[in-house]
Structure 1
Amino acid sequence: MDKESQHICNLRKGDITSFEYLYTVWSGKLYNFVMRISKGDSYLAEEIVQAVFIKVWEGKESLDPGKSFGAYLCTIAKNQLVNIYQHRMLEQLYQEKVIASEPTENTTEKEVDYHLLEEYIDSLIDQLPPARREIFVLSRRNMLTNKEIAEKLNLSENTVESQLTKAISFMRSRINQHYGLSVSLLLYLLID
């Protein structure tokens, strides 16, 4: 077993020294990776590196010393970056839509509308069957991979994927009915 794999085994048991070792070895490499895929956003790269290692610590028991730790870190970082970009895009598109459709509306009303939309999405999540809701929240809010969800809930990855597909389909149809196609297309980024 190589040194890194040994540190991963120790980290699974909660060894902070092994965590610090892995952070020291990988944080700079991960920062450079995020800088490349974020087109040089150093603030975002720093935030994502910190968030990734928090996630590593929180999920340390499920780490697999036989798999590439670097690939695992990059997958988490990429997913977090995509989620951040999707959220930013949604906010920007929503603000542009509100400004274009109601130019006299003040900023406070726009923020209220946005929060109402977020509350509507939350209410749709609450309408999902409990198991499907849990899978959706773990995927979209906690940003776990399908594999991580499957391991956490003792399900197959196919089951997780099937439940996510059904959840997204339900939410898209309800958003389309309630807000119309234009907002439904904007929210495609948030729930897909």
Structure 2
Amino acid sequence: MTEKEELQLLAKGSSSAFESLYNRYSSKLYNFMLKMTHGNRYITEELVQRTFVKIWEQRNKIDPDKSFLSFLCTIAKNLLLNEYEHETVKYVYTEYIKKSITEQQYDNTTEKEVDRKILESLIDKLIGELPPKRKEIFILSRKYGMSNKRIAEKMHISESTIETQLAKALIYMKNNLKHYINCILII
């Protein structure tokens, strides 16, 4: 049976004609695609299979008067180009997402640093408004991490006075920060 006759039978849905064409051309197509994929056997096998699936799906559109091998190679080459295009788009999209996440993390870090500095300057402002002794006790306790006992010894006052002054300083800070929190949240 000639190739032309097999192609005519294929157009009518003959599975034996399809099998005969597959057996005749699959190895030739495989070798052609192996060169096109630079030796990638996995993608080559996949493309040969997909090409013949496409042949079966479009069997009624095949022109029996034209070279079937050229038609096969054209379909396979187009499938390969589509695959490369798909992989390129996927790669570009993945890189874009990675870059966006990195920039977002950077932006969040910058934003958090700005927020921290604003809050720190606000706290420093409120500390500056405390009465001198209370201010000194608060700074020794919170900024330098000194214990109440050590502050009491250093300032020659009782620990209970230190506790009272710290409690008053914290109440003052808390009350005043409440007013600023609303402003901070609006910002």
Name the TM-score class by shorter chain.
0.5 to 0.7
- Which residue type is aligned with residue 82 of structure 2? N
2-structure distance, mates of 1:102, 1:13: 54
% identical aligned pairs: 41
SS for the counterpart of 2:102 is coil
Cα deviation for residue 100 of structure 1 reads: 2.4
Partner of 1:27: 26
Letter aligned with residue 22 of structure 2: Y
| Cα distance in structure 1, aligned partners of 2:29 and 2:73 | 7
Q: CA deviation at 1:97?
A: 2.2
Alignment of 1:62 with 2:81, yes or no, is no
Q: Deviations over 1:28-74 (max 9, x none)?
A: 01111111011111111111111111111111111111001011001
User: Structure 2 matches for 1:115-134, cutoff 5 A?
Assistant: none
Specify the alignment match of 2:15 in structure 1.
Answer: 16
State the Cα deviation string for residues 131-153 of structure 1 (Å, max 9, x = none): xxxxxxxxxxxxxxxxxxxxxxx
How many residue pairs align between the two structures?
A: 105
Could you tell me which residue of structure 1 aligns to residue 45 of structure 2?
46
Secondary structure, aligned partner of 1:40: coil
CA distance in 2, matches of 1:15, 1:45: 26
Specify the code of the residue in structure 1 equivalent to 2:92: L
Cα distance 1:105–1:10, how it changes in 2: closer, same or farther (>3 A)? farther
TM value normalised by structure 2: 0.53
**In structure 2, distance between residues paired with 1:93 and 1:72:** 32
Pair 76,50 (structure 1): closer, same or farther in 2 beyond 3 Å: same
- Identify the residue that residue 92 of structure 2 maps to in structure 1: 93
TM-score by length of 1: 0.52
Cα distance, 1:105–1:49 mapped onto 2, change above 3 Å: farther
Q: Secondary structure at the match of 1:102?
A: helix
Q: Shift of the alpha carbon at 1:95?
A: 1.3
How far residue 15 of structure 1 moved from its aligned partner, in angstroms, is 1.1
State the shift of 1:96 in Å.
Answer: 1.4
Distance in 2, matches of 1:72 and 1:6, equals 16
| AA matched with 2:20 | Y
5+ residue gaps, structure 1: 107-192
- Structure 1 segments, 4+ long, off by >4 Å, are none
- Which gives a bigger RCO, structure 1 or 2 (Cα 8 Å, sep 6+)? 1
2:80 maps to what in 1? 81
1:86-143, Cα deviation, whole Å (9 max, x unpaired)? 111111112112222322779xxxxxxxxxxxxxxxxxxxxxxxxxxxxxxxxxxxxx
Residue in 2 that maps onto 1:72: 71
